[in-house]
Each structure stands twice: as C-alpha cells, then as structure tokens.
Amino acid sequence: MSTDAPKLSPVETIKEGSDYLKGTIGQEIADSVDHFDKSNIQLLKFHGSYQQDDRDSRLTAKKTGAGKAYSMMVRLRIPGGRIQSDQMLSMLDLCERLGNSTMKITTRQTLQLHGILKDDLRETICYINKIALSTLAACGDVNRNVMCCPAKRIGSIHADMEKLTDELTEALAPQTPAYHELWLTDPESGEKTLEGGGPIEPLYGPTYLPRKFKIGIALPEDNCIDIYTQDLGYLAVVRDGAIIGYNVLVGGGMGTTPSAKKTFPALAKRMAFVTPNQAVGIAQAILKVQRDNGNRGDRKTARMKYLINDWGIEKFRAEVEKCFGEPLVDCTEDEVHGFDDHMGWQEQGDGKWSYGLNIENGRLYDNEDQQLKATLRAICREFETEIRMTGHQSVIFTDIDGADKDKLISLITQHQVPTTEQTSTVRRWSMSCVALPTCGLAITESERRLPSIIDGLEAPLSKLGLDKERFTIRMTGCPNGCARPYNADLALVGKAKGKYTLYAGGGWLGNRLAYVYKDLVPDDVVVDEIIAIFAAYKANREEGESLGSFCTRVGKDDLAVLATAAPRP
C-alpha cells in the first residue's frame, strides 16, 4: 500500500509556503512592476483583492506591443450588508479618488471597487480599515461575507439574526498577523495604524480551507439571501415571536465547469436543528470537517458540496457531531415559503420607514442619464442613517420619518434615478455578475448586456399581461455562478464567445435548480428565445403557477414545442 501523501493542487502548495498568507506581497508592493506574481495573486484574495486587467484594451495593447492594463479589484467584508452613511460617503470618495469612479454592490451584500492601481492598493485597504470596515476574508479559501436578511425590523427576531451574523463573522475570521502587517503598518516607521491578528490560525490552520465558504441567515417567510446556495445556511425557527433555534442547511454552491462533468451546481441539504447557543460552535465544527476532508488535490471539486455528495448527508452529519462533541437533533418542519426583496416603502415597527431602491446590477455611477452616486451622497448627507445592501444588489435606506418620505423620493428623482415604483418588475428581479471587461473568468458579457435584454423584454411582457408577474432572471459571464443563476426562473450563463446557455425551471423561492433548456444560444436571439418562453407560459400555465414551476412541470422538450407554437406578442 502506498504511503505517499495525496498530491496537492498548486494553490495548496502556495498557501502552505505562504507564512500565513504573507508570501512576498510586501516586497512586491514596493516593486515598481505594475502587477503581482502568480503566487501572490492567490494570496491577495484572502486580503480582499483580485488582480485583473482591462480586457477591452488587450487587442490594442497587442498591436502596439504594450502590456496588459493591470489593476486590482478590492472587495469589502460587510456583515449583513449594514453600513453607516458616513462610511458609504467615504467609499464613494474612495472609488473616485483611487478607483475607476464606480462602485459595485455585490450579490453578497457588500461593496467592491475596480480599477485600483497596484501602487494604490496599500492606501486603499488602509483607508477602508480607518473608516471601521475591512477587506480581510472578503475573498479566498475562508468564510466570506456572512449574509443576513437586510430588512430593518424592531423586535428580537431580526436583532438575533443580526447578532448571529456578527458573531459568526468574528468567530470565523482569519487570525493571521499578515493582514495588519501588510496593510495597516507604515512601511517606513513600522508604526501600526490598527492592532489585530495573532501568531497562528487556531481554526483554519496554515493552509486554510480547500475552497471558499459562504454563510447566509434567512427566515422561512423571507429567503432574500438565497439560503439554498450557501455552503452553510441558518433558517430561523420562530415560535411565539422569538427565535428558538435554526435549521442548519449545508452544501449549497453555484459554481460549475461544463468541461468537467464531475462538477455541478448544488442546493443545500437540511442537516439538523441547533439552538442559538449552539449556532457558532456548529459553524466551527462544519468548517473543521471541510478543512480536514475537503479535496485539496483538485480545486474544481474542493467545495463542501462535493464532500457531502461523496459522503452523503448522514455521514457528514455524524462527522460534524463528532467534531462538535454532542449529538444533534433533526430539523423542524419549518421550510422556506417566501421571498421579499424589501424594495419600496416598508414599515420598521417603530413608527419609522425604510425605503428600498433598486440599483440595476448593483453598479453605482454618475452619467448624463442618471446619477446614482450623487443620489446616495444626497440621501446619506440629509438623513445620516444606516444603509443596508440586499442580496439582489440594491440598497435600503432606514429610519425615515413618515414626514420625510417625499423628501427622500425627491432626492432620488432630481438625480434622474428611477424610483422602485417606476422600475419594471422584470428589471427589479434581475441581476448579473460583473463579467467583461475586468473579470478574468468571463467568457461573455453580463452586466453590460443584461440591461438591454431587459429593455427588449419589457414591452412584450406588457402585451402578454405578464408585466406584474415576478420572475427571477439572472445572467453570468461564465459558469462560475456569481449571480446565482442555477436556481433562477430563467438564467443566461456564458458558454462561448457571444453565446449563452439558457436555463429554465428554477424559481424566486430559490429552492429548486433550473435545467439546461438550450445551449450555445447566440446573443442576438437571446431575447426572442426568452419571449417565446413567456408566450408559452401565458398560453399554457395553470392557475397560480409561477414561471419556474411551469417550466419544471412541462419539462425541456415540451417547453420547446410550446414555445414554438405559442403566439408571440
């Protein structure tokens, strides 16, 4: 029998020799070269940054002999998407001063900056920490930003969920001193601007997790954070107006590689019920089981969903119980049955209101047509309140007095920004990843393409009488699944240059996977293909049936037949 240790993937070797994520990043920051080497690119992810280049300029650069136009994407860790007005104002300043003047609200309730030059990376991350935010563990093979229902509600239910969000963030954060040494220490004086970190990683160990890890907290009546797509989900169990515990779901994950049949998207499975006092300990136990048993030889199958698929949920639960130190009880009957995007006016329960403003694909920018950044600036300065970012890339302004409702709406409309009430339902429920030109994985367009696709759908939906129906339409530039496409009613996933895989049959509840309806759909017929599905749905749906449920009921082949036969608007 061979006693050789299993072969590690190249990234595992990089982590192993990195001295707890330090690598040679410090030396490279001081170097005049405009980009980092391959090893440090991997380590920088743990610090909250990806190296990218402007792919639009590659052809010109090749013709002229110039190099790639490198820059850094910097992502923040903002638990539950909660941020104060002064912090948002500071981030808007930062994106203009050191970034490409835009900012992106992500599908995980946080912010990311684009276009940061390598020479400005230390200043950027240091500044973010000075305003009491962080980039540590926003990316990388660790627990990332913890998602939580962003609705502001007075009472113990939402307060307990937010408390658990903060506790998980702290308990599962990396402890490496490298972050503070690299970004929060003056390189000349050695003086630290903030203290933190420790000499070892008691939870993660020197090689951290085999792959990224995501957590979300939801309510049965409000799955606004897509709990089934998380590696670890906490579904609150409420009795008599109080949370008595959580149903723990494990093994969700969207990423897949079409060329590797061993990969697949997966929805989380119900594992056990835990009390509030057990919630953090269970998360640590689950992380340890994944840490010690996840696939470190092949990053394509390193997510926890593959471990659970190989073992089965019963064995996985048994290992978690062993690590946790006590047996667990089965989940309660509580299950997801609703989804609120929290857009528009909603009462908080304390006499005040919140207002959810739809931000198309999460991109904050100003131009001649609309000024989203200026809108946020005006509202932050006027109301000085907390802002909450949603899992659908939008924002919620909290603590608005009833007498100030018109003032807030005026601040939106005077900057030519559509209110939520002026936004079509199909646009409101759509979302996309960044894709081209900055994402290195992107095969096709996504964020820059989806708005025009929605433009092409609005009039036909109105003619069909479906303009008030709620459909989730999601788009990604590659199969990595950053906009959670595989559980949407309809989704477009980049497959080849200018071509998409069209998925159908998921749903706005997020608890069902879509199937491949058509592959390699050319960009110029995407809108027609989707309109045909809507027409088939209009002509053949059962009473009260959602689009995703209809597509699932009729199946791929019959849907194609019905879509061909249905009269177009």
Locate 90 and state its tokens.
């500071």
Q: Catalytic site residue 373?
A: no
Q: State yes or no: is 433 an active-site residue.
A: yes
Query: How far does Cα 160 stand from its chain's mean position?
Result: 22
Catalytic residue among 152, 214, 305, 363: 214
Decide if 122 is catalytic: no
Marked catalytic residue, from 75, 305, 495, 512: 75
**439 part of the active site:** yes
Q: How many residues make up the chain in this entry?
A: 569
* Identity of the amino acid at 423: T
Structure letter (DSSP) for residue 225: T
For residues 38 and 51, the answer to whether their CB atoms sit within 8 Å is no
Name the active-site residue from 433, 484, 512, 551. Answer: 433
Residue 468 annotated as catalytic = no
Options 139, 149, 380, 478, the catalytic residue: 478
Q: Which of 95, 380, 439, 551 is catalytic?
A: 439
Is 303 one of the annotated active-site residues of the chain? Answer: no
**Within 10 A of 94 (CB to CB), how many other CB atoms are there?**
21
Q: Are 301 and 257 in contact (CB under 8 A)?
A: no
Cis ω on the peptide bond leading into residue 437 (within 30° of 0)?
Answer: yes
User: Could you tell me which residues are beta bridge partners of residue 217?
Assistant: 148, 234
Structure token pair of residue 11: 């990234």
139 is catalytic: no
Please list the residues that pair with 143 across neighbouring strands.
Answer: 213
Question: Is the separation of the CB atoms in 247 and 332 below 8 Å?
Answer: yes
Give a three-class secondary structure readout of 275-334.
CHHHHHHHHHHHHHHHHHHCCCCCHHHCCHHHHHHHHCHHHHHHHHHHHHCCCCECCCCC
Coil, helix or strand at residue 352: coil
Residue from 482, 484, 512, 551 carrying the catalytic annotation: 482
Phi, psi of 35 (to 5 degrees): -150, 165
Residue 144 is a catalytic residue = yes
Query: Which of 82, 108, 144, 317 is the catalytic position?
Result: 144
- 45, 152, 211, 212: which is the annotated catalytic residue? 212
**Would you please indicate which residues are annotated as catalytic (active-site) residues?**
75, 144, 212, 214, 433, 439, 478, 482
